[in-house]
Structure formats: structure tokens, C-alpha cells
Chains A and B, each alone.
Chain A
């Protein structure tokens, strides 16, 4: 049998919004609400979300 435990890497963790926030850049717009799953948000915005305390 395989391992009973599977290591979960940081970038594979589910990203849940801690607060409301809006990303708006050219054709991309995301109206984020607290509790939203942010896994579909492009990675280019992840640093901004960290800086803004959204994740």
C-alpha cells in the first residue's frame, strides 16, 4: 500500500479570502468577498493579495 500521509505543499493549499478586496487590471476583474476560494485567481496577483492581507 502507499503512504497514508500526503505532503501538501504551500502553493497547493486552498486560498481563502480573509477580507473583501477588488482586483482590477485591464481586462481582469475579481470582486473578492471574505471566505471566497481564491484558487482561480492568477498567480500574478497572489503577492498583492498577501500585501493587502487578503490571504
Chain B
């Protein structure tokens, strides 16, 4: 009788994190650079006397880690690594966040400052993705600055006026209850209902989002954020003989995620998570292998 074919692992197919308490999947990592379940044991040796060799060697701890490299950033990654789920809007016609005072309190004011900022009707195609700063130049005029030029070629082409990242060549006049457009940016500032009287050098900021298929926002780092444990089903690549591995890791704890932006390169972080003992299942994981009768069908 001949020997069986040796068993081996090839490649990575996907990793599907799930909620341990319910088994419900969060989703799956499909663009995955790899996933390695590293169970590294330690041996405790008894040495003594003149013998250069140990008298005994007993089991120490096993460090159980999952090292994986997610090259995509699904919503659940923010929750599992950073403690907060993002808010995603689909098929949005374009929007602007609220105007928020940064320095002083006079720029955003419903009566004596700028009451609101919004997308100018009919100019949605000019809205450029970015963060903007409104600076009071005098009691009734403001300059607008942009903190990223990456989207300036959307709609009407724009560029900075100077090295201070200013967008307005002439300060914009804010008048009571009237809107003034930030030229070429598809957004307008609407004056308060009373006598406009801002304090020079006070500032306020807003964010603009052009019409989009998907808009994702997530706040990271709030005190009280909860980073949960998760389980994960990790599947190897199916081999030509149909051989396939599935690892079900019951409890995993990860924290942190690097948003790498290197020149001309994709973000390919390597994450290390701890694998924990699950008392209900009396183990840390289950490994399954199948070599089906029919390799491919």
C-alpha cells in the first residue's frame, strides 16, 4: 500500500471576523496579504551540576498570535482595531459639514456672523473634497483657506492664491441673511440675521464633500471607545487537488491600525493580534482540512 499524499497549506483566500457571542460575521477581508497563526511554545529546561545538557525539559507558555496583513479597509476594521464604526453615506448629491468656530466665537454666529455654510444649488459639481478654514479679515469680510489641493481640478479648476493656502483673492463680504459663494468651490456662506460684526482673526472650519457614491466618516480616539474581541474564520487558497484549510479562531484581541501612505505604494500593514483561550469551547481554535473526492467541479 502506497503512502498518502502529504498535507500542506497553500496561500490565503480570506478571513471572516465574527462576533464571538452570536457567531454573526462582521464581513470579510478579501484583499489580504496573508494570515499566520503563530503558536510559539517555550520549553523550561532544568540544568545543573556539571552536565552541559538539561536534566529535564517541561512545557512553558505558548504565545498565540495571529499576524495578518489586511490591504483593504472595510468598515468593521475601524471597530475591531480602533473602537468605532464609521458612518457611510451612499449616493449623496454633495454636502458640507456644519461651520464650527475654532478661534473665538464670532465667525459662526446665527445673528452677527456666518449663520451657515452649504452647497450652492446648481454648483454641486464644483464642490471639492477637503477641509476649509474661514478667517475674519474685518467685521464684515472673510477669507477662506483650503487645507488640501488634491481635488482642486474637480469642476471649475482652482488653485491657491498664495503660499498661505488662501483661496480668496479678495475677502468675501458677509451681509445679513444673504449668501456669498466661495468662487469655484460650490459652497456658499450665509450671513446671520442681524448686524454682521465679526472679530478680526477669529476662525471657523468646515468640510466639503462632492457628489459621491460613497462617503465615509469616522472619529477615532474618543475616550470610552470600546475595541471588542472577535473570532475569525481564516481560509487558505484552494489547491488544484481541491485541498482546503479552514481555521476557526475563537477569540482574538487586536488593537491599532497604521494608515500608511508611502510614495507610490499601497498601504500593506502587518497586524499582530493575540489569540485567547475560550473556556466554553475549551480551546483556542479548530483547524479543518478537506481533500475532496472531486478536486474541481
Q: Once bound together, how far apart are the Cα atoms of A47 and B178, in whole Å?
A: 13
Main SS at interface, chain B: loop
Complex CA gap A39/B244 in Å reads 85
Q: Is the CB of A52 within 8 A of B175?
A: no
Contacts known (A44-B178, A48-B140, A51-B140); A24 close to B170, Cβ less than 8 A = yes
What's the interface size class on A, roughly? 10 to 19
Chain A residue nearest in CB terms to B169 = A24
Complex interface: chain A residues within 8 A of B170 (CB): 22, 24, 29
* Contact, CB under 8 Å: B138 / A52: yes
Contact (Cβ within 8 A) B139 A51: yes
Main SS of the interface on chain A?
mixed
CB distance from B178 to the nearest CB of A (A): 7
Which of B140, B179, B180 has the most A CB atoms < 10 Å from its CB?
B140
Render B184-208 as a binary contact track against A, CB cut-off 8 A, 1 for contact: 0000000000011100000000000
Task: Output the nearest chain B residue to A53 by Cβ-Cβ distance.
Answer: B139
Q: Does A26 contact B (CB under 8 A)?
A: yes
Query: Most chain-B CB neighbours within 10 Å: which of A44, A47, A48, A52?
Result: A48
| Interchain nearest-CB distance for A42 vs B (Å) | 10
Total number of B residues with any Cβ neighbor in A under 8 Å:
18
Contact of A24 among B172, B176, B197 (CB under 8 A): B172
B195 adjacent to A51 (CB under 8 Å): yes
Chain A nearest CB from B136 CB (Å) reads 12
A47 to B193, CA, bound (A): 12
CB of B172 within 8 A of CB of A47, answer no
Q: Shortest CB–CB separation between residue A25 and chain B, in angstroms?
A: 4
Given A26-B180, A47-B175, A52-B139, 18 new contacts (CB under 8 A): A22-B170, A23-B173, A24-B171, A24-B172, A24-B173, A25-B172, A25-B173, A25-B178, A26-B179, A29-B170, A44-B175, A44-B176, A44-B178, A45-B173, A45-B175, A48-B139, A48-B175, A51-B195
Interface residues of B (CB under 8 A from A): 138-141, 170-176, 178-181, 195-197
17 contacts across the A-B interface (CB closer than 8 A): A22-B141, A22-B170, A22-B171, A23-B173, A24-B173, A25-B175, A25-B178, A25-B180, A26-B179, A26-B181, A44-B176, A47-B195, A48-B139, A48-B173, A51-B140, A51-B197, A52-B138
